Amino acid sequence: MRYLIAFVLMAFLSISSFAQQIEIGAFAGGANFIGDVGKTNYILPNTPVGGLIAKWNRSPRHALRLTLLYAEISADDEKSDDTRRQQRGYSFENSIAEASFGLEFNFFEFDLTNPLPQSTPYLYTGITYFRADHMWLKNGRAGNLVNEGTNWEFAIPMVMGYKEAVTEHIIGAFEIGARYTLTDNLDGSWPEEYLDRREPSLEFGNRNTNDWYVFTGITFTFTFGRKPCYCF
C-alpha cells in the first residue's frame, strides 16, 4: 500500500509541476476545401469548424500542441470561376474529424512571467490523422457525387498565426491552417481509393495533386496553475 501511495504522490507532484505551463481552450472558425470540385480559392471559409486545443509550453519559444477538430466541408462547381467546372456541375458535402499533434514555434519569446502585453506570430506543424467520407460518382459521370465508405487518412498541417495574452491566464489567437492530405478522394475525383480498382469512366480532375482543406479561425486558451517558469 505504501508503494501505491508513494506512486500517487509522485504522479500528483509531477502533474502539478507541469500544470503551470499548460493551456486548454477552444477553436472556432470556418473551413474551405481545395481540390477538383468547386472554387479554387486558397482561403475562403464557407462552412463551420470547431473543437478543442491544448498546449504544453516547453519554453518561451516552443510548445507541444494537440487539437481535436470537427468541420463540415462543401464545394459546388456552379460557384467556381472556371467555366469548365460550371458546365460539369458537380457538388458535394463531407465532414472531417481530425486529431493533430505537433510543435508550435513562436517567432518571439512568449513568457507570461514578463509584464503584459505579450504577443508573437507563430508557426505550427506536425501530423494530422482524420476521418472523412469517401465520395464517388455512383451513377456515372451524368450522376451526382455520393457519400459512401469511410476515408481514414493522414495530412500535414501548415499553420500560421498570431497570439496575444489578453490577461495573465487568457490567450487569444488568430490562425490560418492548410492541411495537405494524403488522399485525392475527399471530392470523389479518384474513386480507386474506395473501389480498390481503377474506373477511368468515373475519374476526373487533376490526378497529380491531392486534396487540401483549410481551417481559419480564432482560439482562446486558459493557462492554469502558477505562472510558467521554464526552470526544470
**Banded pLDDT at 225 (limits 50, 70, 90):** low
Render pLDDT for 48-90 as a digit per residue (tens, 0 to 9). Answer: 999 999 999 989 999 999 999 999 999 999 999 999 999 999 9
Render pLDDT for 186-195 as a digit per residue (tens, 0 to 9). Answer: 999 999 999 9
Q: For the whole model, what pTM was predicted?
A: 0.88
DSSP state of 43: S
Burial 91-104 (b: 16+ CB within 10 A, else e): bbebebebebebeb
Dist. CA 175–CA 124, nearest whole Å: 10
Dist. CA 88–CA 144, nearest whole Å: 11
How confident is the model over 217-227, as a mean pLDDT? 84
Q: How many CA atoms lie within 13 A of 185 on its CB side?
A: 25
Domains of the chain, each with CATH number or no CATH? 20-134+147-185+211-223 (2.40.160.20)
**Torsion, Cα of 101, 107, 112, 114 (10° steps):** 160
Residues above pLDDT 70, as percent of the chain: 88
**Banded pLDDT at 16 (limits 50, 70, 90):** very low
Q: How many CA atoms lie within 13 A of 16 on its CB side?
A: 6
Query: Three-state SS string across 82-140, please?
Result: CHHHHHHCCEEEEEEEEEEEEEEEECCCCCCCCCCCCEEEEEEEEEEEEEEEEEEECCC
**Banded pLDDT at 7 (limits 50, 70, 90):** very low
Burial 70-81 (b: 16+ CB within 10 A, else e): bbebbbbbeebe
pLDDT at 193: 95
Higher pLDDT, 226 or 98: 98
pLDDT at 1: 53
How confident is the model over 191-203, as a mean pLDDT? 94
CA angle 102, 108, 111 (to 5 degrees): 85
Closest alpha carbon to 49 in 160, 183, 221, 177: 177
Render pLDDT for 125-176 as a digit per residue (tens, 0 to 9). Answer: 999 999 999 999 998 888 899 999 999 999 999 999 999 999 888 999 999 9
Mean model confidence pLDDT for the chain: 89
